[in-house]
A and B are shown apart, each in its own frame.
Chain A
Amino acid sequence: MSILVVMEVVMEQSRLTWHRMSWEALAAGQELGRQMDLPVAAVVLGQGIAALAAELSAKKLDKVYAIEHDLLAGYTADGYTAALAGLAAQVNPTLVLFPHTYQVRDFAPKLATRLGKVLISDVVRVRLEEGGLVMVRQLFQGKLNADYRASGAGPHFASIQAGAYRAEMVEAGSAQVETVTPVLEAAAIRVKVGAPFRESQRAVDLTAAELIVSVGRGIKEKDNIALVEELARVMGAELAASRPICDNGWLPMERQVGSSGQTVSPKVYLAIGISGAIQHLVGMKGSKAVVAINKDANAPIFEVADYGIVGDLFEVVPALIEEVKKAKGL
C-alpha cells in the first residue's frame, strides 16, 4: 500500500536533469499521500543516476527507488516497462503516477497493460471520494471534463497533465535511497534508438516576442492567412499558429506554439480561431494577457482568456486592423 511517482529524467547539455513536469507529478503524489494516509515513494530510472536520487532524498518521501542499469542509459519502452513492472511486483503500490510527457505516453500504457490494468492518461485532478479515487480528465480536446473511477485492487495508473499540480508545492524532507538492479536482457530491447536532434536552427524565436498574433483552424483556408498577417504587421506582433496550420503547410513549423512547438509568454497573446486544445494551451498559458476571438462561446480557449470576443473572425479581424491603425495613428 503506497503511492509511487515515476520521475522523468532528460539530457540537457550532456548532463542528466529532471523533466520539469516530474515535480508536478511528485506534488500530486505528496498531496494524495496526505489525503489517503499512504507512504509516497519516488522512482528514478537510468544509468549514473546517484546524484539525481540524492536530490530526491531531500524531499518529503518515504523512499526513493533508484533503478540503475546499463541498459537504461537511454530510454526505451521495452527497458523501462520491464524495469518498472519488476518494481511494481516487488512494491505492490496502490497508485502509480507519471507526468504526462511524450515519453510517458510511449511506455506507461504498455506497463499498465502488462499488469492487466488501465492507465488513466492526461489527468487534471485526482480526488479521493467515498468508494475510491476519482480522476478528472478532459474529453473532446478540452471541451468537456469527465470523472473516471478505477475499480478493484491496485495498482492504479495515472499520468498528470502539465500544469495541473504545482512543482513549488513539493515538500522538502528526507528519504532513504534504495538502489534497485532490475533483471534486464539486451535481447529484450527490440528497438535501436538514435540520438535526439533538431531539424535546423530556429529562424524564428517566438519566446522573446512581446506581442503575438496566433492563428488556428478557424482561418479555414491558406489564402486567409494574409488577413492575420496584416493584423500582426499593424500591431507590430510576431505571427504564430496552432499545430494544424503548420501541419497543412500554411505557416512554417517554426511558428508553431504548443507542446510540440515553442512555449511563449508575451505581454499579449491574441488567439484567432484557435479552439484551445491542451497541446496548444501548454505553450501559451504563461502569457500575461490572453485575448481570444472565436465563433464558439464554449471553445476551451476562453478558459484561459482575459478578454474574449465571440464572433466571426472574418468580420472582427478586418475591423480590428482598422481600429489598431487608428489607435496607433497610422
Chain B
Amino acid sequence: MKILVAIKQVPSRDSQLRLDTSGRWIDEADLASEINEPDAYALEEALQIKEKHGGEVVALCAGPARASQTIREALAKGADRAIHIENDDLGRYDLLGVARLLAKAAAGETPDLILTGLQSDDLGYGQTGVVMAELLGLPAATIIMQVEKTDAGIRVKRELEDGWFQHMDIPLPAVLTIQSGINKLRYATLMGIKKAKTKEVKRLTSVDLGIDAVPNVSLDRVYLPQRAKQTTFIPGSAREQAAKLAEILKFEVRVL
C-alpha cells in the first residue's frame, strides 16, 4: 500500500509565545519547533501499516525551509521519502489554499491512503485532511483510533463523543485523520537517522504546483485572551503556597 502522510511543523509545546510587531502572528525568531503531535501518530500508523502489508510511506509537508528538520525526523523514523512544499509565507494562504497545495502534490503520487493528524497544535482548524479529501474527490473519515486492511478497502474505528466509537468500512483510496493515542510512537534509531540523510526529499514550490494565494478568509489580529474569571493567585514559596491552598480547601471551599 502506498501511504502518504501529511505532517506539519509547529512551535514546541512549551514555547513562550510572543506576538510579533504586526499583531497578526507570533514572533517566530528563537522559537523551537517540533512535529505536530497528532501528525506524529499519523506517521506512526502509516509505518505500522507498511510493516504489516508492505508498500511505501511518503511524508508530505508544507512549510518554510526550517520544516526540513521535521521532514528529516520523519525519514529517520522510517518514511521512505518526502515531499517538501517549500514556502516562507504560507500565512498568505487560507486553509483552503494550503489544502490545495497539499492536495495537488498528493495527486501527483496517487496514493492508496492519505493520513494526517486530526488537528494542528498551532492553528487548530482540524480540517486539512477532510478538505484535501474533498479536493481529491476521495472519501474521508475523521478522529480515527484504529485502521485495519480488508479485502474491499479498510475498516476503521472512529471516535465519537463521550466515550462512544463506531466502525466504518471505506473503499480505497481514502483520507483518514488520526487521533492522538492510536498507537505508541517510536523513536528514531541511530541507523534510521543515518539512513535519513540519503533519502529523497523532493522540493516543490507554489509556482510548481500552480496554486496562488487567493484567500477568502483572513487572520486579522492575534492577541492574548481576556481573563473571563477572577483567579486568586497564591503567592510565596512552594511551601507557603501549599499551606495557603490547604487553608482555602479547608476553610473556604470546605472540602478537607
Q: Which residues of A contact B231 (CB under 8 A)?
A: 292, 302, 305-308
Cβ contact within 8 Å between B130 and A109: yes
Within 8 A of B (CB), among A275-304: 288-289, 291-292, 296, 298, 300, 302-304
Within 8 A of A (CB), among B166-184: 166-171, 179-181, 184
Q: With the chains together, A210 CA to B249 CA distance in Å?
A: 13
Q: State the Cβ distance, A1 to closest chain B Cβ, in Å.
A: 18
Q: Known contacts A148-B217, A210-B255, A309-B234: does B134 contact A303 (CB below 8 Å)?
A: no
Q: How many A-B residue pairs have CB under 8 A?
A: 243
Q: Which residues of A contact B134 (CB under 8 A)?
A: 109-110, 113-114
Tell me how many residues of A have a C-beta within 8 Å of chain B: 93
Q: With the chains together, A141 CA to B119 CA distance in Å?
A: 11
Cβ contact within 8 Å between A122 and B126: yes
Of B131, B170, B256, which one neighbours A109 at CB under 8 angstroms? B131
Cβ contact within 8 Å between B161 and A300: no
Q: Which residues of A contact B238 (CB under 8 A)?
A: 311-312, 315-316, 319
Q: State the Cβ distance, B197 to closest chain A Cβ, in Å.
A: 30
Tell me how many residues of B have a C-beta within 8 Å of chain A: 78
Q: Which residues of B contact A102 (CB under 8 A)?
A: 142-143, 159-161
Interface string of B150-161 (1 = CB under 8 A from A): 000000000111
Q: Which residues of B contact A305 (CB under 8 A)?
A: 229, 231
Of A107, A114, A139, which one neighbours B122 at CB under 8 angstroms? A139
Cβ contact within 8 Å between B233 and A304: no
Q: With the chains together, A77 CA to B130 CA distance in Å?
A: 10
- B141 an interface residue at 8 Å Cβ cutoff? yes
Q: State the Cβ distance, B90 to closest chain A Cβ, in Å.
A: 15
Of B141, B217, B221, which one neighbours A151 at CB under 8 angstroms? B217
Q: With the chains together, A141 CA to B142 CA distance in Å?
A: 19
Cβ contact within 8 Å between B249 and A324: yes
CB-nearest residue of chain A to B100: A113
Cβ contact within 8 Å between B246 and A141: no
Q: With the chains together, A101 CA to B166 CA distance in Å?
A: 16
Of A194, A249, A327, which one neighbours B250 at CB under 8 angstroms? A327
Cβ contact within 8 Å between B217 and A138: no
Q: State the Cβ distance, A298 to closest chain B Cβ, in Å.
A: 7
Within 8 A of A (CB), among B5-21: 11, 13-14, 16-17, 19
Q: Known contacts A145-B222, A244-B180: does B233 contact A308 (CB below 8 Å)?
A: yes
Interface string of A136-165 (1 = CB under 8 A from B): 011111111111111110000000000000
Cβ contact within 8 Å between A311 and B241: yes
Cβ contact within 8 Å between B165 and A197: yes
Q: With the chains together, A150 CA to B164 CA distance in Å?
A: 35
Q: Which residues of A contact B169 (CB under 8 A)?
A: 191-192, 194
Cβ contact within 8 Å between B224 and A105: no
Q: Known contacts A113-B96, A309-B241: does B165 contact A196 (CB below 8 Å)?
A: yes
Closest 10 CB pairs of A and B: A247-B181, A319-B242, A323-B246, A315-B238, A194-B167, A109-B127, A320-B242, A109-B130, A192-B169, A113-B134
Residues on B close to A: CB < 8 A?
11, 13-14, 16-17, 19, 26, 94-96, 99, 118, 121-127, 130-131, 133-135, 139-143, 159-171, 179-181, 184, 215-225, 227-229, 231-234, 238-239, 241-243, 245-250, 253, 255-256
Residues on A close to B: CB < 8 A?
77-78, 101-103, 105-107, 109-110, 112-114, 116-122, 134, 137-152, 190-199, 202, 210-211, 217, 235, 243-244, 246-249, 259-263, 267-268, 288-289, 291-292, 296, 298, 300, 302-312, 315-316, 319-320, 322-324, 326-328
Subset of 6 A-B contacts with CB under 8 Å: A105-B142, A113-B131, A113-B134, A147-B222, A320-B245, A327-B247
